[in-house]
Amino acid sequence: MFLHVDYTSSRPLYEQIREQVHLMISQGQLKPGDRLPPVRQLASDLATAPATVARAYRELEQDGVLKGKGRSGSVITERRPILAPAERSRRLQQAAEQFATQARMLGVDLNEAIQILTESWLPEQ
Amino acid sequence: MFLHVDYTSSRPLYEQIREQVHLMISQGQLKPGDRLPPVRQLASDLATAPATVARAYRELEQDGVLKGKGRSGSVITERRPILAPAERSRRLQQAAEQFATQARMLGVDLNEAIQILTESWLPEQ
Amino acid sequence: MFLHVDYTSSRPLYEQIREQVHLMISQGQLKPGDRLPPVRQLASDLATAPATVARAYRELEQDGVLKGKGRSGSVITERRPILAPAERSRRLQQAAEQFATQARMLGVDLNEAIQILTESWLPEQ
Amino acid sequence: MFLHVDYTSSRPLYEQIREQVHLMISQGQLKPGDRLPPVRQLASDLATAPATVARAYRELEQDGVLKGKGRSGSVITERRPILAPAERSRRLQQAAEQFATQARMLGVDLNEAIQILTESWLPEQ
DNA sequence: GTGGTCTAGACCACA
DNA sequence: GTGGTCTAGACCACT
């Protein structure tokens, strides 16, 4: 199996696929030039509709990490920065604030939050 | 105005209300025994539907920080909201992973993520 | 009728919708704060599937000109630059080269191309 | 190598080949009577399927700039490719509108578009 | 056989 | 009633 999704999660399937691919890239399991499985194959592996996988692939292209249509399947590319710096930092801040809010709701202080974030980051690296 | 919400956020309104109340409690702006505004009044203050506020109040009751309805309005309760440790750390981890995922998708490394998280933390407290 | 599409064009419907909205914004027919018709209504006006209109709206959000989910329909926003400058100019150059190539194939010189581009731009402005 | 194609472009290969040949004619690198490489040879040069090259040749024949097949390979014809004026200006307008649309979607004004078009034009000619 | 587009529905979260 | 998600297919362009 190429990647894992959680059908019970409220997170959309195409988002889970997108995130998994990002994760595998940042962990070095996927490198520029590697090919992703064809849409239909991954769809049948995940027991989902092809359109769902297609949407994940499309968004990965918009993220600038995937390339290729029709030619020869979908290929991991060198990462291109595609967002304006202002937009990038806006999204980052929003994500950080959301985490900070939830952590504070649970009575966590900054140091504990940083520690948990570090553990959640990656095993190695 | 009792609290602030961001109508342009993709975050549900009832979640924003819930978080604001939690935050005000942890900052001491709300103390046990204090009363929250009636559902209809807060709803009209926020220019939203009463059902939205009602849902926020309902979830706050489930969180264990709010009590009583019908007769004398809603009152902040004494006991600190205490989750089972396992549930608490499960929620924390999930929130941290969500932030980590989004940060990685934006090409951020751990150090930068920690810095942004620190800035997003409240100045005081 | 809110906007016009060409069912015989090879251009995808959702792209045509997206472009029409961009055009109406640049012509001042749509201003920040204006609301677009609900997905289902526009879909029935255009005799297309709701998913097609939904996709156009989603891409308009990614373009940074449309905002709003669930809350109260889709609203035109102040335009936010959302692409990295490098990506923006890459796309521009690619579009320009495509036009230049086709024009040269038809034996057009630069001056004539500029004149035709100017006429294609906008009636007023 | 006879001509260059960009495998990463979303532009179909057969279109790129067709355009390159047009371009080489308009630049005098190809003259009436010159022969194009056999389909199979060009296909192997470009590492593509013969059908792709065959399609490019077929469209060049329809364009009226290439003639003959089967016996002695494909030969550039004498007569300049001449479209009916109405058809020519229709194609030009369509290409111009397509560029104008994409430029507007990127928030570009007419002057900037003209400047980029000028830079995209070939230095010589 | 690759991905892209579109259909005609369904169910869900939010207000 | 709003948009979001997903299904289970179909057809098409390109290789």
**pLDDT digits over D5-26, tens only?**
888 888 899 999 999 898 888 8
Please report which helix (H) or strand (E) contains residue D66, including its range.
Answer: strand D66-67
| C-beta pairs of D23-28 under 8 Å, 24+ apart in sequence | D23/C101, D23/C104, D23/C105, D25/D65, D25/D76, D26/C104, D26/C105, D26/C107, D26/D125, D27/D122, D27/D125
Torsions phi, psi for B66 (to 5 deg): -135, 150
Contact C54, C17 (CB under 8 A): no
DSSP B75: E
Average confidence (pLDDT) over A28-33: 90
The percentage of residues in chain D with a pLDDT greater than 70, rounded to a whole number, is 90
Give pLDDT, residue B86.
87
Q: Does A49 touch chain B (CB under 8 A)?
A: no
- Judge whether residue C22 has pLDDT over 80: yes
Parallel/antiparallel/unpaired status of strands A35-36 and D35-36:
unpaired
Average confidence (pLDDT) over D30-37: 89
- Report the protein residue whose CA lies nearest the C1' of nucleotide E2: A70
Evaluated on CA atoms A25, A28, A33, A34, the torsion sign reads negative
Contact D74, D29 (CB under 8 A): no
- Search chain B and give the residue with CA nearest C74: B8
Please report which helix (H) or strand (E) contains residue D100, including its range.
Answer: helix D85-105
Evaluated on CA atoms D32, D33, D39, D45, the torsion sign reads negative
Separation of first and last alpha carbons in chain B: 23
- Judge whether residue D31 has pLDDT over 80: yes
Contacts of B119 in chain A (CB under 8 A): 93, 96
Query: Mean pLDDT across chain A, nearest whole number?
Result: 89
- Quickly state the pLDDT bin for D125 (edges 50, 70, 90): very low
Question: What are the pLDDT digits (tens) for D34-67?
Answer: 889 999 999 999 989 999 999 999 999 888 888 8
As given in the structure block, the two tokens for residue D19 are: 């355009």
Separation of first and last alpha carbons in chain D: 23
Burial A78-93 (b: 16+ CB within 10 A, else e): eeeebbbeebbeeebe
Distance CA C55, CA C16 (A): 11
Residue count of chain C: 125
Average confidence (pLDDT) over A100-122: 91
Give pLDDT, residue D6.
86
Give pLDDT, residue A30.
92
Question: What are the pLDDT digits (tens) for C2-21?
Answer: 888 899 888 899 999 999 99
Residue count of chain A: 125
As given in the structure block, the two tokens for residue B2 are: 């009792």
The percentage of residues in chain D with a pLDDT greater than 90, rounded to a whole number, is 37
Tell me how crowded residue B125 is: count the other CB atoms within 10 A of its CB: 11
Q: Does C23 touch chain D (CB under 8 A)?
A: yes
Distance CA A25, CA A15 (A): 15
As given in the structure block, the two tokens for residue B9 are: 């956020």
CA–C1' gap, A12 and E8, in angstroms:
21
Torsions phi, psi for D66 (to 5 deg): -135, 145
Q: Does C32 touch chain B (CB under 8 A)?
A: no
Please report which helix (H) or strand (E) contains residue B35, including its range.
Answer: strand B35-36
For domain C13-76, say whether CATH 1.10.8.10 is its number. Answer: no
Q: What's the one-letter identity of residue C96?
A: A
Contacts of B122 in chain A (CB under 8 A): 100, 104
Torsions phi, psi for C36 (to 5 deg): -85, 155
Q: Which residue has the tokens 């001056």?
A: C111
Can you list the alpha helix ranges (DSSP code H) found in A4-124?
A: 13-26, 39-45, 50-63, 85-105, 110-121
Evaluated on CA atoms D71, D77, D78, D82, the torsion sign reads positive
Question: What are the pLDDT digits (tens) for C42-96?
Answer: 999 999 999 999 999 999 999 989 987 766 789 999 888 889 999 999 999 999 9
Distance CA A70, CA D70 (A): 30
Q: Which of A23, A2, A79 is nearest to B100 (CA)?
A: A23
Query: Please, is B53 exposed, middle or buried when counting C-beta atoms within 10 Å of its C-beta (0-12, 13-18, 19+)?
Result: buried
Give pLDDT, residue C70.
66
Residue count of chain D: 125
User: Whose CB is within 7 A of strand E?
Assistant: A 10, 36-41, 50-51, 54, 57-58, 61, 68-70, 73-74; B 12-15, 48-49, 51-52; C 12-15, 48-52, 55, 70-72
Please report which helix (H) or strand (E) contains residue D20, including its range.
Answer: helix D13-26
Task: Give partners of D (≥3 CB pairs < 8 A).
Answer: A, C
Torsions phi, psi for D19 (to 5 deg): -65, -40
Chain E positions with any atom < 7 A from a protein CB = 1-10, 13-15
- Judge whether residue A102 has pLDDT over 50: yes
Tell me how crowded residue C17 is: count the other CB atoms within 10 A of its CB: 26
